[in-house]
Amino acid sequence: MTNKRRAVPGVHPYDGPAGGWGALKATAIAVRTQMDAFEAPATLLRTNQPDGFDCPGCAWPDKEHKSTFQFCENGAKAVTWEATTKRVTPAFLAANTVTSLLAKSDFELEGYGRLTHPLVYDRASDTLRPVAWEQAFARIGEILRGLQPDEVEFYTSGRASNEAAWLFQLYAREYGTNNFPDCSNMCHESTSVGLPQSIGIGKGTVSLDDFDQTELVISIGHNPGTNHPRMMGTLHELSRRGVPIIVFNPLRERALERFADPQNVMEMATRRSTPIASTYYQVRAGGDAAALKGIMKALVDADRAAPGALDHDFIAQHTQGFDAYVQDLETSTVIFAKNENVVRPIASISKLMTAVVVVDANLPMDEMLEITDDDVDGLKHTTSRLRVGTKLSRGDMLHLALMSSENRAANALGRHYPGGLPAFVAAMNAKAQSLGMTSTRFIEPTGLSSDNVSSPHDLARLLRAASQRPLIHRYSTDTEYEVEINNRTQTFRNTNLLVRKPDWDIKVSKTGYINEAGECLVMLARINGRDLAIVLLDSQGKLSRIGDAVRIRRIVQSEVALASIQSGG
């Protein structure tokens, strides 16, 4: 096979360890080609020092006890590129077209030095042409005046100085907007959303001191030799101390394989290096998630075989998670269960039992019911589009209670039950007992009370019962429904986003939320020819219950596919 990798001047194959003499040589070349030979040593020795400056190369924290040399190869290169004496002059730009520059690597372009003028593109000559600062500012101002403030993003570098960043944001605010993301938004926007849902905080929780105490390091998708090489000194110390370092990475990074510390006299004198990864799993991209699930399964299995493998007190005190229960209703096989017997508030999932009781009472669905002050939420003070005085049929009230989780509709259904609200709540609890829902209790029909409680195991039974009532199937899975209220047509939509997805075959659905219950979702869905009851309680984040359901379906589908492969199907 022909190697189509483009040759880049200054970049060539390297067989040695990361760090070591190779790093020193590369640093020397960068200094020699970019900086004044007399100024370079003083500049580098001020890197990451109390009376110096933070290295622009990475954000690895500084040790309390500093050494004279607090920079790495990458950091030295970053400093030389900032402090370079080379300049990209107008003559250089006139001699090199933009097309030719686009063919250059980032490494080559960086090596040419720093710009000296504002530039505009000249289409006729395909070159960047220098202009005066006054012209540049005038052109920028002309464009900005033609836009609305919120149409503009003032994008900047996360490496800008505090002073420059402060002036830039002041300029943007004076213009009339606060749209000023920097490059860190591109790097960390996903972590700021994902990490709070997974570990409870939007940034890492490990301090530099933790490495002195740790007995194990797991590195996942992590390239320290490239992104923050100063960490290699810490990993080097851990490896020499005998601490296992387990790596999951599609890329075989040299620094994670072996590293020579340039500040270790023996390694430099003997040209030896230290292995870093005790075990290196070169998984495919995305395989880290499968590896983590495998580790979790092994830990759970170990704890079941010999209790004590998991610190349950720590888990209870420091973690929050959803209660989940997935059951094949045709075989009664439990596919997944977590806290399946824990009793907790279930919020508007209560309305599913409200619907079962209403349907089983065989009351006329065309009978008109009226919303009164008794139906207004005095507990959580939620709002409703069903104003006092609204009249709808019992069928419409049931439709809105199931599909759009209308609290006033659910309460009105209970009030218009023979014997009134007390008789209706008694019927809800009696129905729960008849279904074997022994951990379930209701005190009202809406779910606004945190005293409406159940368990995932019990709610799977409720899903089975609800699925046997066609009206509940229809009303709970409609995507939207229009009703006439006070001579106006109003459209109500389903609170479960998944019913709008054509690739989901959902038989029964209900969502719920109050602070005490968290985000809840129960569904009966047909997946790979199986009717599965899916119960998710106390999910964190409005869309997390949807994501959890999608992941459960993916797992079930992958298990079926694997079974087919293993059986030769």
* pLDDT tens, residue by residue, 395-417: 999 999 999 999 999 999 999 99
Residue 449 has pLDDT above 70, yes or no: yes
Residues 6+ apart with CB under 8 A from 425: 414, 442, 443, 444, 445
Tell me, what's the pLDDT at 566? 38
**What's the whole-model pTM score?**
0.58
Q: Which one is predicted more confidently, 119 or 264?
A: 119
Residue 210 tokens read as 């933790």
Residue 447 has pLDDT above 90, yes or no: yes
Q: What is the pLDDT of residues 303-360, one digit of tens each?
A: 878 888 888 788 777 766 666 777 776 777 887 788 888 999 999 999 999 999 999 9
- Cα distances (angstroms) measured from residue 186 to each of 84, 158, 197, 257: 28, 10, 19, 29
What's the pLDDT band for 1 if we cut at 50, 70, 90?
very low
Task: Give the Cα separation of 327 and 464 in Å (integer).
Answer: 10
Residue 466 has pLDDT above 90, yes or no: yes
Task: Give the Cα separation of 40 and 89 in Å (integer).
Answer: 23
DSSP secondary structure code for residue 205 in this structure = -
Other beta carbons less than 10 A from residue 233's beta carbon: 20
**Strand spans (E) along 273-348:** 274-275, 279-281, 323-328, 333-338, 344-345
DSSP secondary structure code for residue 53 in this structure = B
Q: Which one is predicted more confidently, 45 or 272?
A: 272
pLDDT, the chain, mean: 87
What's the pLDDT band for 559 if we cut at 50, 70, 90?
low
Tell me, what's the pLDDT at 568? 40
Tell me, what's the pLDDT at 112? 92
Tell me, what's the pLDDT at 563? 42
CB 115 within 8 A of CB 131: no
Within 416-543, where are the H helices? 420-434, 456-467, 470-477
Overall average pLDDT of the 48-58 stretch:
74
Task: Give the Cα separation of 389 and 246 in Å (integer).
Answer: 66
Overall average pLDDT of the 278-307 stretch:
85
Collapsing DSSP to helix, strand or coil, 198 comes out as helix
Other beta carbons less than 10 A from residue 113's beta carbon: 16
CB 492 within 8 A of CB 385: yes
Closest CA to 402 of 344, 474, 502, 469: 474
- Burial class from Cβ neighbours inside 10 Å (0-12, 13-18, 19+) for residue 435 reads middle
What's the pLDDT band for 137 if we cut at 50, 70, 90?
very high
CB 537 within 8 A of CB 321: no
Q: Answer positive or negative: Cα dihedral of 164, 167, 172, 173.
A: positive
Overall average pLDDT of the 16-35 stretch:
86
Ramachandran bin of 182, using left for φ above 0, alpha for ψ from -120 to 50, beta for the remaining angles: beta
Collapsing DSSP to helix, strand or coil, 401 comes out as helix
Task: Give the Cα separation of 491 and 136 in Å (integer).
Answer: 52
Q: What is the pLDDT of residues 102-111, one digit of tens each?
A: 999 888 898 8
Residues 6+ apart with CB under 8 A from 473: 466, 467, 507, 508
DSSP secondary structure code for residue 64 in this structure = S
pLDDT over 90 percentage in the chain: 52
Overall average pLDDT of the 492-501 stretch:
95
What type of residue is 504? W
What's the pLDDT band for 564 if we cut at 50, 70, 90?
very low
Closest CA to 548 of 324, 352, 344, 369: 324
Tell me, what's the pLDDT at 565? 34
Chain-centroid distance of CA 536 in Å reads 19
Residues 6+ apart with CB under 8 A from 241: none
Residue 56 has pLDDT above 90, yes or no: no
* 27-41, 71-85, 189-203, 463-477, range with the lowest pLDDT: 189-203
Residue 469 has pLDDT above 90, yes or no: yes
What number of H helices and E strands is found in the chain?
23, 21
Tell me, what's the pLDDT at 88? 94
**Torsion angles phi and psi, residue 236, rounded to 5:** -60, -45
Overall average pLDDT of the 371-377 stretch:
96
Tell me, what's the pLDDT at 567? 39
* 253-262, 285-294, 348-357, range with the lowest pLDDT: 285-294
CB 483 within 8 A of CB 400: yes
Overall average pLDDT of the 161-167 stretch:
87
Collapsing DSSP to helix, strand or coil, 368 comes out as strand
**Residue 245, H or E segment:** strand 245-248
What's the pLDDT band for 76 if we cut at 50, 70, 90?
confident
Q: What is the pLDDT of residues 508-526, one digit of tens each?
A: 999 999 999 989 999 999 9
Q: What is the pLDDT of residues 208-248, one digit of tens each?
A: 889 999 999 999 988 998 888 888 989 999 999 999 999 99
Residue 52 tokens read as 């110096």
